[in-house]
């Protein structure tokens, strides 16, 4: 959870991201989320998704869902997230991020068909204090 808190803080501190009217959620959406929104989900921790080295170095995968009422709005939100995260290296709270790398992108309509989602996966190389 430290990693998701660090990414949440990193996004919320970015000037371009702050100008967007959106809500940011961690690990799950409420029953009636405020749209547009971003959902951060840690998908590592299972076999094949996490590699931890002997000195506390960790390699985690985070999925970022950009959710909106239109494809254009979701794509714009995803671009703002990408600009904030891609290539970032530095300390955020007690997490020392070595590098954030964009891995993949997918898009679809939400479960009810009334929202559009752009889903981006980011590989985060980090050490925890």
Phi and psi angles of residue 44, each rounded to the nearest 5 degrees, phi first: -85, 180
Query: For 60-82, what is each residue's pLDDT tens digit?
Result: 899 999 999 999 999 999 999 99
**pLDDT at residue 109 greater than cutoff 80:** yes
CATH architecture of 2-128: 2-Layer Sandwich (3.30)
What was the pLDDT predicted at 129?
Answer: 59
Structure token pair of residue 44: 């590592």
In this predicted model, what pLDDT tens digit does every residue of 3-54 receive, in sequence order?
A: 999 999 999 887 667 777 789 999 999 998 999 999 999 987 544 444 555 5
Higher-confidence residue of 3 and 1: namely: 3
Provide the residue ranges of all domains of the chain, joining segments of one domain with +: 2-128
Pair of tokens at residue 62 = 């985070």
Please provide residue 110's backbone torsions phi and psi, each rounded to the nearest 5 degrees: -65, 170
pLDDT at 48: 44
Position 55 scores a pLDDT of 61
In angstroms, the CA 10 to CA 5 distance is 8
pLDDT number for residue 49:
45
Does 1 have pLDDT greater than 70? no
Residue in 85, 124, 82 with CA at minimum distance from that of residue 105: 82
Q: According to the model, what pLDDT value does residue 47 have?
A: 44
pLDDT of residue 52: 56
């Amino acid at each position: 959870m430290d990693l998701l808190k660090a990414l949440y803080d990193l996004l919320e501190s970015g000037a371009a991201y702050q100008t967007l009217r959106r809500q940011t959620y961690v690990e799950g959406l409420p029953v009636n989320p405020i749209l547009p929104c971003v959902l951060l989900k840690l998908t590592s921790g299972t076999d094949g998704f996490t590699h931890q080295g002997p000195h506390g170095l960790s390699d985690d995968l985070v999925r970022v869902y950009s959710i909106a009422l239109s494809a254009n709005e979701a794509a714009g939100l995803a671009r703002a997230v990408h600009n904030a995260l891609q290539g970032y290296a530095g300390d955020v709270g007690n997490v020392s991020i070595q590098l954030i790398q964009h891995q993949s992108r997918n898009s679809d309509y939400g479960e009810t068909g009334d929202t559009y989602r752009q889903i981006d996966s980011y590989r985060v190389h980090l050490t925890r204090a």
